[in-house]
Amino acid sequence: MGMDVGKQGGSMATMNVVPLIDILLVLIIIFMVITPLTPKGLDALVPQPAEPEAGAAGGAEDDRGAASGHGEIEDQR
């Protein structure tokens, strides 16, 4: 049952894995029953992107503000 005879005649103990498999199957069944009962998703506050201003520069070159002059580097000489 739980003992095997080794090649050289000595006894070799092995672990009985049947109770371990039984416990794992019961845990799987428990999680399968509980999973549909959990709420779907979390109530989290997600920041929304700021809406662009309607009266800003007419032709925006890119999203970094190059058309409005904010993205330009000033010469400090």
Tell me how far apart the terminal alpha carbons of the chain are, to the nearest angstrom: 90
Q: What burial class does residue 13 get, using C-beta atoms within 10 Å of its C-beta: 0-12 exposed, 13-18 middle, 19+ buried?
A: exposed
Distance CA 10, CA 2 (A): 14
pLDDT tens digits for range 42-76: 778 889 999 888 765 555 555 555 555 555 566 66
pLDDT tens digits for range 27-46: 999 999 988 877 777 778 88
Task: Name the pLDDT band for 77 (thresholds 50, 70, 90).
Answer: low
Instruction: For the full predicted model, state whether its pTM sits above 0.85.
Output: no
User: Number of C-alpha atoms within 13 angstroms, CB side, residue 71?
Assistant: 9
